[in-house]
Structure 1
Amino acid sequence: MEIVSIIVLMLVVAAIQLQLKSNRKNSRALEKILPIYKVERDCIISKQGDVTVAFTLDLPEIFTLSAADYETIHHIWVRAIRLLPPGTVIHKQDWYTDAAYQSNFSPDQSFLQRSSERFFHSRPYLNHQCYLMITRKADNRKPASSVFSNLLRSSLVPQNTIQEQPFQDFMDKVSQVQRLLQEGGFIRAHRLTSEDLVGTNEKQGLIERYCFLAAPDQQPVVRDIEFKPEWKVGENYCQMYSLSDVEDLPGLCGSRITYDKYSTDISKFSIGFAAPLGQLLNCNHIYNQFLVVEDSQKTFKKLEAKRRRLQSLSAYSRENAISKDATNAFLNEAISQHRLPVKAHFHVLTWTSHPEQLKELRNKTSAALAAIDANPRQEQSGAPQLYWAGLPGNGADLPLNECFDTFAEQGSCFFTQETNYRHSPSTFGIRLGDRLTGQPIHFDPSDYFMSTGVISNRNKLLIGGSGTGKSLCMAHFMHSYFVQGAHCVIVDVGHSYIGLCKLVNGYYFTYEQNNPFRFNPFFIGEGDTLDTEKKESIKSLLLALWKKDTEVFTRAEYVALSNALSLYFDKLEANKDIFPGFNSFYEFLRDDYAEILSKENVQLKDFDINNFLYVLRPYYKNGEFDFLLNATENLSLLQQPFIVFELDNIKDHPILFPVVTLIIMELFVSKMRKLKGTRKVIVIEEAWKAIAKAGMADFIKYLYKTVRKHFGEAIVVTQELDDVISSPIIKEAIINNADCKILMDMRKFQHKFAQIQTVLGLTDKGRDILFSVNRGNDPKRRYREIYFDLGGVVQQVFAFEPCLEEYYAYTTEEKEKIKVQQYAAKFNGNIARGITALVTESKQ
């Protein structure tokens, strides 16, 4: 059995010479009045004989819950409280401390990654830890009040301290509470160990942290505590605001309230009832929540006596008559609805090291209390005792005269139910930001949720109107994929990726009069092989060039082409001087294969080689399209991790467009099947509409259904919501096989969103969260918000806030792209140095 006695705890305290100063003339050593006797078996034992078990709680992330979710969590809390025996003290303690993002620079980071790290370095945010302490009061313990407290006197260990059977019974109840809290998957509870409570020489425990209001990652510090003339803990000036009087309480309470900042006239955005006192109160503070479970029969008997006394006095005072009615209503509700009576107390402890900020803290805290319709009341004389009761393990010393009578259902409404954004526990992910401060968040919309069963594929559908930041967002996604080793193939219309492609030294295929598309399907690059799939893709291309869509090819023609390809590649193998390409293949057909067919007496009705050569003559040297299939550079498409096909200038071309789409299809299928263990992603921007017209609808369907099996994902991007509704390809092939839906600002469509919501399969919760996008954004920051829906289970909004370097690399504005190219030209085409110079000038 592990036993950490209070002697060990006090050795740590004595070693750093901590001292409580009640005033300048009368100071008392902390170890003499500390109410903690020992920490044993991971339990806190007080000098009064109280036993406390402590947990750390992982709460749901803020802005991710619906009204129904809050009701479910509230119901779980009520059920958990009902498990505990009378006299149990439930002490929930939420810490909110100022923190700053610390950048992590490493030599293998890309130019944009380093720039982003510099941009977010020291970004302030509010760190949150939530603790739950469950205390079993000692038998025959005197109730705490304003005139009696263990802060005023220390006590010997009571004779009846810990007996094994009552202790085991209590631990069984605590275990049941832990399991019940974790029902539904909203809350996770982890038991705190003795080391977590007491700490070590290098790390502070929870008890020491509370005494000296220390940050979670702060080294052990020496701090004095004094309450007069000012309440100070070390250099920190403290204030306390309490909810302990019925007159100060809100008229109504519930599991949730409407957050007007993110609500619309057709959607109500829900946050927890106590959220204004938690994550939304942006300052150093601790929110202590106490519930004391009462004996129902004794409480009702006492209240009945009070009601009769008030009834006899009601004729003499209107106040007595009102109190009698209130007591009667309380008893009626308790008995008719089987309520559990509890005593409750809540207070917010704030602090700052700058005394000039005390007024601002007072205003912030008062506004937070007013947000839940409570009357702000600052504690003065009672603050020291309430502060002392908040010490982990000392919840039983909460003064009862600082509590009010209520029910477990109402009291648990004042519990905070959310925490800040969490990083995905995955090595793969995208950097986004939380909605409150923009703190960088590592979010994995693919692997992590696949492993947890939330989604069954990695495919994505992104919908965003013009000007919503869709292109910047997708460029950021593709850069994130690229630097993490993925192979990216992008089919675009609009030149959105030209800057990023140059920055990562990718292949950028576009059609210009003096620089047209150039491919070479006959070239076998490094890591590629002439397998059946390669041959089939070349045959499909040749047949597409030879035959019209309405024409069909015969079995004999197919066999003839197969034989021609096999013989051609045999000739290449025997003669290394021949460069593979359509020119040499055409010459082989004309000179060698025609002779072979003649010797074998192949009839024209079986394979008309003259017709074949005549139709494909424009693709041979000096022909109209001789550039298309005879490339001599950018040949290693299989091994190139970043390739962009810009189809804007050929999307209506009857010959070039079908050929290019076939080459794209062959390329990605080849990457899918041959790059084992490598992540593959294909992005089809607005080009999907043109591709579908070119007969590639089946390919899109095939991609979305099979890419998952090859560690890949397909992403389709569109900006027209009508496309989502009207296109059978989007509706049947893409939406049904894209478990991750990413939507940008949809507020302009909110009054005609019902049909789109049905098609996308969004829940009402998802709709309400979606309509909150870009509402109430911080004007001091330049960012857009993005909505993610993962399998209809996880709905969350993130902020995308690019640094200037990222913005110039991703921008789609024509003037800005030209400026970037001009600055890059000053550094011999080095786009990274050009962007650096442009950013430096912009800041100046």
Structure 2
Amino acid sequence: MMEIEKIMPIWKVENGAMLSMAGDVTIAYSLRLPEIGTSSAKDFEGLHQAIVKAMGVLQPGTVLHKADWFVRRSVGLNEVKRQDSLAGAGEREFAGRSFLDHECFIFLTRKPAARKLSSSAYSNILRKSIAPASVADEKLLSGFLASCGQFERILLDSGMLGLSRLGDDALSGTAGSAGVIEKYCFLLGRGQRPVIRDVHLQDEIRVGRARCELYTLADVVHLPALCGSRLTYEPYSTDRTSYSIGFATPLGMLLDCNHVYSQYVFIGDGRKTIRELEAKKLRLQSLSGYSRENAVSRDAVNDFLNEAVSTGKLPVRAHFNVLCWSEDPLEFSDLRNKVGSAMARIGAECKQETDGAAQIWFSGMPGNAADFPMNDSFDTFAEQAACFFNMESGVRCDGSGLRLGDRLSGRPIFLDLFQGPMKSGRITNRNLFVCGSSGAGKSLAMNHLLRSLYDEGAHCVTVDVGGSYRGLCDLLGGYYFSYTEANPIRFNPFYIGEGDVLDIEKKESLKTLLLSLWKKDADDYNRAEYVAISTAITLYYEYLAVHPEVFPCFNSFYDFLMHEYMEVMKDGKVKEKDFDLVNLLYVLNPYYKGGEFDYLLNASENLDLLNERFIVFELDNIRGHEILFPVVTIIIMEMFVSKMRKLKGLRKILAIDEAWVAIAKSGMAHFIRYLYKTVRKFNGIAALITQEVDDLISSPIIKETVINLSDTKLLLDMRKFMNKFDKLQEVLGLSDKAKTLLLSLNKDNAKGENYRELMLDQGGQHMQVYRNQLCLEEYLAYTTEESEKMQVEAFAALHGGIAAGIAALAAEIRSGKRKL
């Protein structure tokens, strides 16, 4: 047993730098990498070139140590953001789910000029104590810091990486949080409190109860024959697209175990390296007659020298290793298979390090990269070394918003789709476009989004033609308007709810409605008719103020026209030749009591549409009706405009699901255009959902208005439209990267889990694939399958409410008593 203080390589931490006992100076950066799956082949190539360029500005004698830490964590219940029963059930469903948490660091170390190179036989871990040496001189240190600044600026200018320098507390830690040195020595994850563990290095590496194994790429014979900036990931690729991942991603996010992937690049004197290789080539030349292996090695060294001289590439030495660990004996026994499989994906040979493992582990301590045993490194160029850098990270979470799932692990990801992206400039409007083939999960996704917005205080208005939102509306206690013979659809546009007044907006809404009911074309009226109806509406509400016993509705308005307003006309205040009241009464008579449509405008319940936060209009049974459908759509649109203008500071969304075709055909296309151009100014969202690709391609409304003015797109599985995809891609304005992501949906879903994937595209800047994975309670509330809806309704009737019914049904399904 040895106290670590005796051989601790780090002497002190000050001014944001680590000083080693040997006189090395190290500064550290936290690196933010692109999310896995979001980079195209062009992105990977640009990132690769930026790294090579950044390495080119580092001084000779600098060690670049990039460490990617992947630590398995579990989703905790403390991450629940909302407390209502349905959202709470969703959070509890995923509590305890395992995922890899990724942190990435870059350590730049400058060695003193006279520092002796370490090896497996000469490493500080083999000593009984270490005495501090003199730190590098001030001139050398200032040059090192200047090169680090250039290195940082080049990476930031790539536009794909985030870099932040670590301060003293992040390096050395505090009483309440572990620094990077403690994290490495004691295998601590993000947010774990400091803890001291025994480290065993004699016959194996053991930290506390965790057993570790070390696998290296330390010799050219173990390297792949070819390397590049990217790989094609076959499970997500199609005949038309190649899904790109980073070349080293199989050793990163795709390696499902606790591990640290370390990448070392040793920047030396290029001219000195070439001289040494020239001498080596001559030695091999003289020995080539005795062994064919020497002749092959001579030719390899000669090729390396020719490329270095002809292209001006930077010769470096490099080393890569994976340190993995587990406390579970069964998982530990499988680590070799996992790492070997990951190495095979990049064409490399897996070598388990045993005798030299302790020296390599010791040099991996942040700030101690200069003590790396150089006999375990190999000569290469900066371009090839950069190929082995891990360039992808996990999916990031906004902390609030719509709950989706990480594609790899199913970890809950909360996405702020509207507010944050508007502030950052990623999007310029909040409009939403949702598209996918039949059965792709559009209704489930929209139900989930609407409930999420409702939980955040938004007013949600949905126009539907299939009954997809009935369950959610009943659960939230909203207004649900639908038409059946026994219970036809009813409105009361004349009712003014609490907090509302007869303002210009309300009067204009009523005038538009009355003119549309009277005239075949809503624009076919003269000025006198417009003024007469405006006057009638004003006088009617004055009449109501004097007669509070009169209920505001179309019937009482019609009575007012027949009696009170007729007297106004007789007094000569309105000329009969300018306004034909008799004709108006005759045309509007079907909507008056006793008429064919007397129910339509005389509702006595569900009246306060302005203040009701969740409203669904189900128009399936009337979308072909020449009278009812135009009237209903006018009422819906005018009602939403009223919400939009009067509810200051509140989020509003109008979601039109499949009904947009009928709405456009009924002369309301101009309203859709107006809505998409205006709703942004009132903190609103216009959302359109469709599955008809032919309509999508041929509709000028969609192409010219909806898609152009929808910065947020939720796209679901479209593989059914593969033969039409080129035209579809053009209409949707998708890049080739977006096309690749879209065609990868649901190609390699996790076995045994029920979910559908969707692709989010925001302003063409952020594109990612997520799971729309629901808990059983959410699925039962959102389902559109008739047999499942009938079961939910039956349990709701039995248990006295839909919330209790869903909970009881879910409990029986989980216990195996009932199947969906």
* TM-score, structure 2 as length reference: 0.98
Find the aligned partners of 1:389 and 1:413 in 2 and give their Cα distance. Answer: 22
The answer for the alignment partner of 1:719 in structure 2 is 691
The farther-off stretch of 478-487 and 176-185 is 176-185
The equivalences for 1:86-485 within 5 A come to 86-104=60-78, 109-153=83-127, 154-159=129-134, 161-424=135-398, 427=400, 429-485=401-457
Distance 1:453 1:108, change over 3 A: closer
2:757 is the alignment partner of 1:777 = no
Deviates more, 1:408-417 or 1:310-319: 310-319
Structure 1 residues 244-253 or 742-751, which shifts more? 742-751
- The corresponding residue for 1:765 is 737
Decide whether the 8 Å contact of 1:104 with 1:117 is kept in 2: no
Partner residue in 2 for 1:710: 682
Is the Cα–Cα contact under 8 Å of residues 52 and 382 in structure 2 kept in the other structure?
yes
Contact (CA 8 Å) 2:8, 2:130: kept in 1 or not?
no
2:618 aligned with 1:646: yes
Match of 2:708 among 725, 733, 736: 736
CA distance, structure 1, for counterparts of residue 603 and residue 15 of structure 2: 74
Assess, with a 3 A threshold, how the Cα gap between structure 1 residues 620 and 821 changes in structure 2: closer, same or farther. Answer: same
Q: 2 CA distance for matches of 1:220 and 1:106?
A: 26
Name 2:818's counterpart in structure 1.
Answer: none
Report if the CA contact (8 A) 1:456-1:739 is conserved. yes
- 1:625-704 alignment, distance < 5 Å: 625-704=597-676
Residue in structure 2 matching 1:837, options 805, 808, 813: 808
Which of 530, 537, 543 is 2:502 aligned to?
A: 530
* Match 2:721 to one of 749, 772, 776: 749
Moved more, 195-204 or 75-84: 195-204
Aligned partner of 1:570 in structure 2 is: 542
- Letter in structure 1 aligned against 2:228: G
Counterpart of 1:815 in structure 2 is 787
Matched, 1:503 2:478: no
Distance 1:436 1:39, change over 3 A: same
Cα distance between partner residues in 2 of 1:106 and 1:292: 46
Letter paired with 1:76? A
How has the CA–CA distance of structure 1 residues 257 and 601 changed in structure 2, closer, same or farther, with 3 Å as cutoff? closer
Read off the aligned partner of 2:441 and give its amino acid letter. G
Structure 2: give runs of 5+ residues left out of the alignment: 816-820
Could you say what secondary structure the match of 1:182 adopts? helix
Shift of 1:423: 1.0
2:459 to 487, 493, 500: 487
Aligned length: 814
* 2:214–2:323 Cα contact (<8 Å) kept: yes
2:531 matches 1:559? yes
Corresponding letter in the other structure for 1:332: N
Q: Is the 8 A contact 1:198 1:204 kept in 2?
A: yes
Aligned with 1:151: secondary structure?
helix
Deviations 1:336-370 (A, max 9, x none): 11100110001101111122322211100110011
Instruction: Tell me the distance in 2 between the aligned counterparts of 1:613 and 1:361.
Output: 84
8 Å CA contact 2:61–2:113 kept in 1: the answer is no
Aligned 8 A contact 2:516 2:522 in 1: no
Mean CA deviation greater in 336-345 or 192-201 = 192-201
**Deviation digits for residues 42-98 of structure 1, max 9, x if unmatched?**
211111100000111111111111011111111111111111011100001111111
Match of 1:43 in 2: 17
Q: Is the 8 A contact 1:468 1:745 kept in 2?
A: yes
Cα contact 2:437–2:691 (8 A) shared by 1: yes
Read off the aligned partner of 1:367 and give its amino acid letter: S
- The more displaced of 380-389 and 732-741 is 732-741
Q: Letter of the aligned partner of 2:397 in structure 1?
A: H
Alpha-carbon shift at residue 176 of structure 1 (Å): 1.7
Aligned counterpart, 2:513: 541
Percent identical residues: 54
- Report deviation, 1:604: 3.3
Q: Are 2:796 and 2:803, in contact at CA under 8 Å, matched by a contact in 1?
A: yes
Tell me, in whole angstroms, the C-alpha distance in 2 between the residues paired with 1:346 and 1:144. 17
Aligned equivalents of 1:628, 1:340: Cα separation in 2: 80
Judged with a 3 Å threshold, the aligned counterparts in structure 2 of structure 1 residues 326 and 133 are, in CA distance, closer, same or farther, namely same
**1:333–1:751 Cα change, 3 Å:** farther
Instruction: Describe the superposition over 1:786-826 as per-residue Cα deviations: whole angstroms up to 9, x where unpaired.
Output: 01111112111110110000000000011111111111111
Please report how far the alpha carbon of residue 105 of structure 1 lies from its aligned counterpart in structure 2 after TM superposition.
Answer: 7.1
Tell me how far apart the structure 2 counterparts of residues 385 and 565 of structure 1 sit (CA, whole Å).
89
Q: CA 1:576–1:553 in 2, change beyond 3 Å: closer, same or farther?
A: same
TM-score (norm 1): 0.95
Superposition CA RMSD, Å: 1.4
Asked if structure 1 preserves the Cα contact closer than 8 Å seen for 2:80 and 2:91, the reply is no
